[in-house]
């Protein structure tokens, strides 16, 4: 059966037609005389059906808009996507409806991404990842009085409206040197790569050794060419001078611990030359930087057993990685924790961030700091995240914690 719906206009037509049929039937019936009563009464008024009420739109919920600027395409896309996914996971965990997080791809251009974010009302920028991109973004953000919390590890871009959340090699070097010194090491040497990172590592190393009461015997720089690695080791071990000594046996190397300020895989390439020039692991203690934490396969290199490096705590990240894989069916970058912790940081300050007001940057200077996946951290007025680091040692196929990270900055 088909049901017909009548509009108000159709209802009027049917009423009029019904009235006509009534009059027609009355005209055919026998007529009876009645006394004249004057003009006939007016027809009853036609009442139109009421129109359906149109509901008014609900007012849009007020939120603080936060822009996440990371590379989602290009060579750094795996890192950027991991950070974006981890940030989304943090929002889900927190359930804070006051934060509206929007993600922008910096690969086509960080400046363009910042322009879009600011035009769409971002009151805070998280990211970008690379130092050059930070400079491009900061120039626009400062004009709008919008702070930038970057994931870069380059302290040269910190200052003004830019805070640096990335891991700092200087802090990792200072922590591992101090630990080695506490274990009786007095004489230190270092191999550093040519370039900005190597220069920063060398400066941090010399200062850390001095601060710990040790002595630097040598620092050698190298380019990452396999044929030239041996020359750097020959220099740092003072092999030629030791060979010229009037002794029957080659004198030991002049240091007890050797820092290799490079990735784990690059550091492992020095092992043959170290053995050849008298500085094999076991003879000396190898020290590494935070870069080693990105390479769990390093623990399977038997010759690296006993080496030390400082890093952010790993326990919480392992838990995050398990949840991340369950949700996204992929393994996160080690830097994904920065995306998660950035959202935790914003959430911890959200109670002081009034809607449609500037982000309260003074809250970033908390002396007590903040807690995240990567442990305790604080800015404390420096614009660079100071982190509580642990020291790990390479063991039998795994990294072992030999000096836990402080849980806060009161320890």
Asked whether residue 42 is assigned to any structural domain, the reply reads no
Query: Which residue reads 């790990």 in tokens?
Result: 392
Asked whether residue 51 is assigned to any structural domain, the reply reads no
Range of the domain at 223: 169-311+394-403
Of 4-13, 268-277, 372-381, the poorest mean pLDDT is in 4-13
Q: Where are the alpha helices (DSSP H) in 214-353?
A: 226-236, 239-244, 264-268, 271-276, 315-328, 336-349
Coil, strand or helix at 329: coil
- What percent of the chain stands above pLDDT 70? 84
What DSSP element (H or E) covers 370?
Answer: strand 370-372
- 44: confidence class by pLDDT, cuts 50, 70, 90: low
- CATH number where 179 lies: 3.40.50.2300
Asked whether residue 244 is assigned to any structural domain, the reply reads yes
Quick one: which of 249, 293, 264, 253 has its CA closest to 400?
293
Shared-domain flag, residues 238 and 350: no
Asked whether residue 199 is assigned to any structural domain, the reply reads yes
Interatomic CA distance for residues 200 and 290, integer angstroms: 14
Is 234 in contact with 222 (CB distance < 8 Å)?
no
Interatomic CA distance for residues 38 and 142, integer angstroms: 89
180-211, pLDDT tens digit by residue?
999 999 999 999 999 999 999 999 999 999 99
Asked whether residue 29 is assigned to any structural domain, the reply reads no
Of 169-178, 294-303, 330-339, the poorest mean pLDDT is in 294-303
Of 21-35, 89-103, 156-170, 387-401, the poorest mean pLDDT is in 21-35
pLDDT of residue 296: 83
User: From the CA atom positions of the chain, what is the Rg in Å?
Assistant: 36
Answer yes or no: is pLDDT of 49 > 60: no
| Other C-beta atoms lying within 10 Å of the C-beta of residue 38 | 5
pLDDT of residue 43: 60
CA angle 240, 244, 249 (to 5 degrees): 100
Answer yes or no: is pLDDT of 8 > 70: no
pLDDT of residue 21: 30
Shared-domain flag, residues 302 and 320: no
Quick one: which of 91, 35, 25 has its CA closest to 64?
91
Tokens for 189?
A: 């040497």
Coil, strand or helix at 100: strand
Shared-domain flag, residues 197 and 284: yes
Shared-domain flag, residues 399 and 266: yes
Q: Report pTM.
A: 0.82
Nearby residues of 236 by Cβ (< 8 Å), 6 or more positions away: 189, 190, 191, 218, 219, 220, 258
Of 15-24, 27-36, 136-145, 235-244, the poorest mean pLDDT is in 15-24
Shared-domain flag, residues 88 and 236: no
Q: Name the average pLDDT for the chain.
A: 87
Asked whether residue 120 is assigned to any structural domain, the reply reads yes
Which residue would you say has higher pLDDT here, 134 or 46? 134
pLDDT of residue 246: 63
Nearby residues of 335 by Cβ (< 8 Å), 6 or more positions away: 79, 82, 83, 129, 151
Shared-domain flag, residues 152 and 177: no
Q: Measured between alpha carbons, how far is residue 330 from residues 73, 83, 85, 343 in Å?
A: 17, 13, 11, 21
Answer yes or no: is pLDDT of 349 > 50: yes
Query: Which residue reads 């710990």 in tokens?
Result: 212
Tokens for 220?
A: 């050698």
Shared-domain flag, residues 302 and 275: yes
Which residue would you say has higher pLDDT here, 255 or 16? 255
Tokens for 396?
A: 């039998």
110-149, pLDDT tens digit by residue?
999 999 999 999 999 999 999 999 999 999 999 999 999 9
Of 9-18, 37-46, 275-284, the poorest mean pLDDT is in 9-18
Interatomic CA distance for residues 102 and 119, integer angstroms: 12
Question: How many folded domains does the chain comprise?
Answer: 2
Shared-domain flag, residues 255 and 399: yes
- What percent of the chain stands above pLDDT 90? 75
Answer yes or no: is pLDDT of 41 > 80: no
Shared-domain flag, residues 158 and 195: no
375-378/386-387 β-pairing: antiparallel
Shared-domain flag, residues 327 and 298: no
Answer yes or no: is pLDDT of 48 > 70: no
Asked whether residue 30 is assigned to any structural domain, the reply reads no
- 249: confidence class by pLDDT, cuts 50, 70, 90: confident
pLDDT of residue 222: 97
Shared-domain flag, residues 153 and 186: no
pLDDT of residue 28: 34
- 25: confidence class by pLDDT, cuts 50, 70, 90: very low
Q: Measured between alpha carbons, how far is residue 110 from residues 65, 66, 70, 106, 131 in Å?
A: 18, 16, 9, 4, 11
363-393, pLDDT tens digit by residue?
999 999 999 999 999 998 889 999 999 999 9
pLDDT of residue 297: 87
Asked whether residue 242 is assigned to any structural domain, the reply reads yes
Answer yes or no: is pLDDT of 335 > 80: yes
Is 408 in contact with 376 (CB distance < 8 Å)?
yes
Nearby residues of 69 by Cβ (< 8 Å), 6 or more positions away: 104, 106, 110, 113, 114, 117, 125, 126, 127, 128, 133, 137
Shared-domain flag, residues 97 and 127: yes
DSSP E strand boundaries for 37-127: 64-70, 99-105, 124-126
Answer yes or no: is pLDDT of 244 > 70: yes
């Amino acid at each position: 059966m088909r049901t017909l719906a009548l509009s108000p206009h159709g209802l009027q037509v049917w009423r009029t037609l019904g009235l006509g049929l009534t009059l027609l039937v009355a005209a055919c019936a026998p007529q009876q005389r009645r006394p004249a009563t004057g003009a006939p009464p007016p027809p009853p008024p036609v009442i139109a059906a009421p129109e359906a009420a149109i509901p008014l739109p609900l007012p849009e919920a007020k939120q603080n808009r936060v822009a996440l600027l990371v590379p989602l395409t290009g060579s750094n896309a795996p890192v950027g996507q991991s950070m974006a996914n981890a940030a989304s996971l943090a929002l889900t965990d927190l359930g804070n409806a006051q934060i509206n997080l929007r993600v922008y791809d910096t690969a086509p251009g960080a400046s363009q991404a910042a322009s879009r974010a600011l035009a769409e009302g971002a009151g805070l920028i998280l990211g970008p990842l690379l130092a050059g991109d930070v400079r491009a973004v900061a120039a626009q953000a400062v004009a709008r009085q919008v702070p930038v919390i970057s994931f870069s590890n380059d302290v040269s871009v910190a200052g003004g409206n830019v805070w640096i959340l990335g891991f700092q090699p200087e802090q990792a070097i200072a922590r591992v040197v101090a630990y080695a010194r506490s274990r009786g090491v007095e004489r230190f040497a270092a191999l550093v790569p040519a370039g900005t990172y190597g220069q920063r590592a060398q400066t941090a190393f010399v200062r850390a050794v001095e601060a710990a009461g040790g002595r630097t015997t040598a620092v050698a720089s190298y380019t990452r060419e396999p044929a030239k690695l041996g020359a750097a080791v020959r220099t740092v071990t003072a092999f030629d001078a030791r060979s010229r000594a009037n002794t029957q046996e080659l004198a030991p190397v002049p240091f007890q611990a050797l820092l290799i300020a490079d990735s784990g895989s690059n550091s492992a390439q020095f092992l043959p030359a170290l053995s050849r020039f008298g500085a094999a692991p076991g003879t000396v203690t190898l020290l590494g930087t935070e870069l080693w934490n990105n390479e769990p396969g390093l623990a399977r290199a038997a010759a690296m057993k006993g080496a030390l490096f400082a890093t952010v705590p790993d326990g919480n990240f392992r838990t995050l990685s398990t949840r991340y894989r369950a949700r996204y069916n992929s393994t996160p970058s080690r830097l994904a924790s920065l995306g998660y912790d950035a959202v935790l940081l914003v959430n911890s300050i959200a109670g002081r961030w009034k809607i449609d007001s500037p982000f309260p940057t003074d809250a970033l200077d908390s002396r007590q700091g903040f807690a995240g996946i990567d442990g305790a951290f604080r800015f404390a007025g420096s614009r660079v995240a100071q982190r509580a680091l642990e020291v790990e040692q390479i063991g039998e196929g795994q990294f072992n914690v030999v000096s836990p990270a402080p849980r806060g900055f009161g320890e």
